[in-house]
Amino acid sequence: MATHGKKHKMTMTVTKISYSDIDQTIFDECFTKSLPYLDATKLNIVWEDFDLTVSSSTADKLAKMKTRYQAREDNDDYAIFKLDIDGRIVAYGCGRREHQGDRMFQHELDFFREDASGSQGWCYSAEYNQKMDAFYKSISDNCATHSVWIVEGSSMEKSYDAAVSAGRLSYTNPETIDDHHGHKLKKLVVTYILA
Protein backbone atom coordinates (compact mmCIF):
# COMPACT_ATOMS: atom_id res chain seq x y z
CA MET A 1 0.00 0.00 0.00
CA ALA A 2 1.40 3.40 -0.96
CA THR A 3 1.91 5.93 1.78
CA HIS A 4 1.91 8.95 -0.58
CA GLY A 5 4.73 10.71 1.19
CA LYS A 6 3.55 10.01 4.71
CA LYS A 7 6.32 8.93 7.01
CA HIS A 8 5.64 5.78 9.02
CA LYS A 9 5.48 6.55 12.75
CA MET A 10 7.69 3.98 14.43
CA THR A 11 6.90 2.53 17.82
CA MET A 12 10.00 2.38 20.03
CA THR A 13 9.92 0.45 23.29
CA VAL A 14 12.56 -0.02 26.01
CA THR A 15 11.99 -2.99 28.30
CA LYS A 16 13.88 -4.28 31.33
CA ILE A 17 14.54 -8.00 30.82
CA SER A 18 16.35 -10.96 32.34
CA TYR A 19 19.40 -12.53 30.75
CA SER A 20 17.30 -15.56 29.84
CA ASP A 21 15.01 -13.26 27.80
CA ILE A 22 17.83 -12.33 25.42
CA ASP A 23 17.54 -13.78 21.94
CA GLN A 24 21.13 -15.02 21.60
CA THR A 25 21.08 -14.90 17.78
CA ILE A 26 20.01 -11.25 17.83
CA PHE A 27 22.49 -10.46 20.61
CA ASP A 28 25.29 -11.98 18.51
CA GLU A 29 24.23 -9.87 15.51
CA CYS A 30 24.05 -6.67 17.59
CA PHE A 31 27.51 -7.41 19.00
CA THR A 32 28.98 -8.19 15.57
CA LYS A 33 27.51 -4.97 14.12
CA SER A 34 28.90 -2.97 17.07
CA LEU A 35 32.39 -4.50 17.15
CA PRO A 36 33.98 -2.24 14.48
CA TYR A 37 32.74 0.77 16.48
CA LEU A 38 34.10 -0.67 19.73
CA ASP A 39 37.46 -1.47 18.10
CA ALA A 40 37.83 1.86 16.27
CA THR A 41 41.30 3.41 15.98
CA LYS A 42 40.54 5.25 19.23
CA LEU A 43 38.80 2.48 21.17
CA ASN A 44 35.29 2.95 22.52
CA ILE A 45 35.80 0.16 25.06
CA VAL A 46 38.68 -0.77 27.33
CA TRP A 47 39.02 -4.50 26.73
CA GLU A 48 41.45 -4.86 29.64
CA ASP A 49 38.46 -4.31 31.95
CA PHE A 50 37.30 -7.72 30.72
CA ASP A 51 40.74 -9.39 30.90
CA LEU A 52 41.08 -9.06 27.12
CA THR A 53 42.97 -6.88 24.64
CA VAL A 54 41.95 -5.30 21.35
CA SER A 55 43.68 -8.20 19.57
CA SER A 56 41.64 -10.86 21.44
CA SER A 57 39.44 -12.98 19.21
CA THR A 58 35.88 -11.95 18.36
CA ALA A 59 34.67 -15.17 19.99
CA ASP A 60 36.46 -14.31 23.25
CA LYS A 61 35.08 -10.77 23.22
CA LEU A 62 31.54 -12.00 22.60
CA ALA A 63 31.84 -14.60 25.38
CA LYS A 64 33.02 -11.92 27.85
CA MET A 65 30.15 -9.63 26.92
CA LYS A 66 27.66 -12.43 27.50
CA THR A 67 29.29 -13.16 30.85
CA ARG A 68 28.98 -9.46 31.79
CA TYR A 69 25.30 -9.37 30.85
CA GLN A 70 24.61 -12.62 32.70
CA ALA A 71 26.34 -11.21 35.81
CA ARG A 72 23.79 -8.36 35.78
CA GLU A 73 21.05 -10.87 36.65
CA ASP A 74 19.55 -11.21 40.13
CA ASN A 75 20.74 -7.88 41.53
CA ASP A 76 18.33 -5.01 42.07
CA ASP A 77 21.01 -2.40 41.30
CA TYR A 78 21.64 -3.82 37.81
CA ALA A 79 19.48 -3.83 34.72
CA ILE A 80 19.52 -5.52 31.35
CA PHE A 81 17.26 -3.98 28.74
CA LYS A 82 16.25 -4.31 25.12
CA LEU A 83 15.10 -1.67 22.70
CA ASP A 84 12.77 -2.59 19.89
CA ILE A 85 11.27 -0.66 17.01
CA ASP A 86 7.96 -1.96 15.69
CA GLY A 87 8.72 -5.28 17.38
CA ARG A 88 12.24 -5.66 15.91
CA ILE A 89 14.94 -5.74 18.59
CA VAL A 90 17.60 -3.18 17.63
CA ALA A 91 19.67 -3.02 20.82
CA TYR A 92 20.55 -4.75 24.04
CA GLY A 93 22.02 -2.75 26.91
CA CYS A 94 23.00 -3.08 30.55
CA GLY A 95 24.08 -0.95 33.45
CA ARG A 96 23.69 -0.37 37.14
CA ARG A 97 22.62 2.18 39.69
CA GLU A 98 25.46 4.04 41.31
CA HIS A 99 26.00 3.49 45.03
CA GLN A 100 26.62 7.15 45.88
CA GLY A 101 24.74 10.41 45.54
CA ASP A 102 21.26 10.22 44.04
CA ARG A 103 22.00 6.69 42.73
CA MET A 104 21.60 7.61 39.07
CA PHE A 105 21.71 4.85 36.45
CA GLN A 106 25.16 4.26 34.95
CA HIS A 107 24.99 2.99 31.38
CA GLU A 108 27.69 0.33 30.88
CA LEU A 109 27.32 -1.50 27.57
CA ASP A 110 25.03 -1.56 24.57
CA PHE A 111 25.09 -3.19 21.18
CA PHE A 112 23.04 -1.95 18.21
CA ARG A 113 21.80 -3.18 14.86
CA GLU A 114 19.70 -1.65 12.09
CA ASP A 115 15.93 -1.23 12.16
CA ALA A 116 13.72 -2.95 9.57
CA SER A 117 14.58 -0.28 6.98
CA GLY A 118 18.31 -0.97 7.35
CA SER A 119 19.07 2.24 9.25
CA GLN A 120 20.67 2.97 12.60
CA GLY A 121 19.53 6.59 12.42
CA TRP A 122 16.97 5.79 15.12
CA CYS A 123 19.67 6.25 17.78
CA TYR A 124 19.86 9.96 16.86
CA SER A 125 16.12 10.54 17.09
CA ALA A 126 14.26 12.62 19.65
CA GLU A 127 12.11 9.57 20.38
CA TYR A 128 15.19 7.54 21.33
CA ASN A 129 16.22 10.22 23.84
CA GLN A 130 12.68 10.37 25.24
CA LYS A 131 12.39 6.59 25.61
CA MET A 132 15.84 6.18 27.20
CA ASP A 133 15.23 9.14 29.53
CA ALA A 134 11.94 7.61 30.71
CA PHE A 135 13.54 4.19 31.13
CA TYR A 136 16.51 5.48 33.14
CA LYS A 137 14.16 7.45 35.37
CA SER A 138 11.93 4.40 35.88
CA ILE A 139 14.80 2.40 37.35
CA SER A 140 16.48 5.19 39.34
CA ASP A 141 13.76 6.78 41.47
CA ASN A 142 13.10 9.40 38.77
CA CYS A 143 16.69 10.71 38.79
CA ALA A 144 16.97 13.42 36.11
CA THR A 145 20.49 12.36 35.02
CA HIS A 146 22.37 9.21 34.09
CA SER A 147 26.07 8.58 33.70
CA VAL A 148 28.45 6.88 31.30
CA TRP A 149 32.23 6.45 31.18
CA ILE A 150 33.86 7.21 27.82
CA VAL A 151 37.42 7.09 26.45
CA GLU A 152 38.70 10.62 25.82
CA GLY A 153 39.04 11.32 22.10
CA SER A 154 36.89 8.35 21.10
CA SER A 155 34.05 8.49 18.59
CA MET A 156 31.70 7.97 21.52
CA GLU A 157 32.92 11.23 23.06
CA LYS A 158 32.49 12.92 19.67
CA SER A 159 28.91 11.57 19.46
CA TYR A 160 28.08 13.04 22.86
CA ASP A 161 29.62 16.37 21.86
CA ALA A 162 27.63 16.35 18.60
CA ALA A 163 24.43 15.68 20.59
CA VAL A 164 25.25 18.65 22.82
CA SER A 165 25.77 20.86 19.74
CA ALA A 166 22.46 19.62 18.30
CA GLY A 167 20.67 20.50 21.54
CA ARG A 168 19.68 16.87 22.32
CA LEU A 169 21.49 16.64 25.67
CA SER A 170 23.88 18.30 28.06
CA TYR A 171 26.51 16.81 30.30
CA THR A 172 29.01 17.58 33.02
CA ASN A 173 32.35 15.84 33.53
CA PRO A 174 32.78 15.52 37.31
CA GLU A 175 35.47 12.84 37.25
CA THR A 176 38.34 11.60 35.08
CA ILE A 177 40.81 8.74 35.33
CA ASP A 178 44.09 9.79 33.72
CA ASP A 179 45.66 6.38 33.11
CA HIS A 180 43.28 3.46 32.90
CA HIS A 181 45.16 0.75 30.98
CA GLY A 182 46.75 3.52 28.91
CA HIS A 183 43.50 5.42 28.28
CA LYS A 184 42.06 8.58 29.78
CA LEU A 185 38.50 7.96 30.92
CA LYS A 186 35.88 10.64 31.45
CA LYS A 187 32.67 10.24 33.38
CA LEU A 188 29.78 12.09 31.75
CA VAL A 189 26.69 12.92 33.78
CA VAL A 190 24.05 13.31 31.11
CA THR A 191 20.74 15.17 31.01
CA TYR A 192 18.51 14.66 27.98
CA ILE A 193 16.93 17.81 26.55
CA LEU A 194 13.46 16.66 25.59
CA ALA A 195 11.38 18.43 22.96
Q: What is the pLDDT of residue 8?
A: 58
First-to-last CA distance in the chain? 32
pTM: 0.91
Please give the Cα distance from 33 to 27 (Å, whole number).
10
CATH architecture of the domain 12-192 equals 3-Layer(aba) Sandwich (3.40)
Confidence at residue 73, expressed as pLDDT on a 0 to 100 scale: 78
User: pLDDT tens across 117-170, in order?
Assistant: 999 999 888 899 999 999 999 999 999 999 999 999 999 999 999 999 999 999
pLDDT of residue 7: 56
Q: What is the pLDDT of residue 124?
A: 86
Domain residue limits, the chain: 12-192
User: Beta strand 88-97 with 105-112: parallel, antiparallel or unpaired?
Assistant: antiparallel
Residue 91 contacts residue 129 (beta carbons within 8 Å): no
